[in-house]
Amino acid sequence: MSDYPKFAVIGGGSWATAIVKMLSENLNEIAWYMRNETAIEEIKVNYHNPNYLSSVEFDVDQLLLTNDINKAVSYADYVIFAIPSAFLTPEMESLYVSLEGKVIISAIKGIIPETSMIVGEHFNKTYDIPYDNIAVITGPCHAEEVALERLSYLTIACRNEVHAKVIEDCLSSHYIKVKVTDDIVGTEYAAVLKNIYAIACGMAHGLGYGDNFQALLMSNAIREMKKFIKKVHRMKRNINNSAYLGDLLVTGYSLFSRNRMFGNMIGKGYTVKSAQMEMNMIAEGYYATKSAYELNKNFGAKTPIINAVYDILYNGKDPKKTFRKLTEKLD
């Protein structure tokens, strides 16, 4: 696909690594920015990311590896950001290259803490990127299953049909199926909220609740998600589609889910700090919980699950007692 626009991926974690793998199925060249110089050298020598998805072998001739974000952004027409939401602002402070005319794609499933905005809105308001040049990548899709080339599904949210088609073509393969929607706001909030509900699901498991309760919890979670998103952005959408319900289910139930893992540790008695220290990856739901809770003070949606997770993570409430109260609010 040498005639396609140029892509750059910003980030060195598991999701960024998976996205580079997907793009490498279709593109002759991809710019890949990561801060870790040691990881870059490891990829050049041994053809894999030493820290994430190390089973994935890359053709280094396809990769323009750099630890300078400006080089990567300068190269690309389409820039995919795949770093934790809490780290986006510090990374952008190093960027002096203009984003004008570039298509900005968020693969970040979180809210920017400095502005309390979802990523698309943040780029629109902070960097004047028109919504026609903004896209969002959501699941249901785990990086680990991309690495194994197991059949996976992506949803691309983008208002511009031409940009959406380019992104779809460049990410699709025999193991990646892509669906397109114009619900940028809804799908991005769904990607944020599902991480909170996955933490709740993990907490329930850690506390000893069984499959029956977790099924009830997920049933209530999708209805709670619908109420929240409807308050934020009212439009016609089917909350049972894969970008919403599908992504929620895979994040809530999969053993690959870092948010479920984080919640499970909290349920078993870990403190927030000790759970974060033991995990090698960022659990976006931790940051999302505070942002969603604060945002909902303005929206006023009924969110007992988000409130319970917030009380445990930020108010130090006892998980066992908090979940006992939560069970009385679910149906």
Residues in the annotated binding site = 14-15, 35, 52, 87, 109, 139, 143, 194, 247, 257-259, 282, 284
| Helix (DSSP H) and strand (DSSP E) numbers for the chain | 15, 10
* Separation of alpha carbons 203 and 217, rounded Å: 11
C-alpha atoms less than 13 angstroms from C-alpha of 70 in its C-beta half-sphere: 6
- Binding-site entries for NAD(+): 87, 143, 258
The residue among 240, 233, 237, 284 whose CA lies nearest residue 262 is: 284
CB atoms within 10 A of CB 101: 9
* Separation of alpha carbons 322 and 176, rounded Å: 40
- Binding-site entries for substrate: 109, 258-259
**Catalytic: 71?**
no
* Separation of alpha carbons 223 and 51, rounded Å: 37
* Separation of alpha carbons 98 and 130, rounded Å: 14
The residue among 165, 99, 163 whose CA lies nearest residue 132 is: 163
CB atoms within 10 A of CB 277: 10
- Binding-site entries for NADPH: 14-15, 35, 52, 109, 143, 258, 282, 284
* Separation of alpha carbons 137 and 107, rounded Å: 5
The residue from 21, 102, 194, 226 that is catalytic is: 194
CB atoms within 10 A of CB 149: 14
Cα four-point dihedral sign 232, 238, 244, 245: positive
Amino acid letter at 17? T
| Bond prior to 140 in cis (omega within 30° of 0) | yes
The residue among 27, 29, 26, 62 whose CA lies nearest residue 43 is: 62
**Contact, 134 vs 104, CB < 8 A?**
yes
* Separation of alpha carbons 247 and 179, rounded Å: 13
Q: Which residues are catalytic?
A: 194
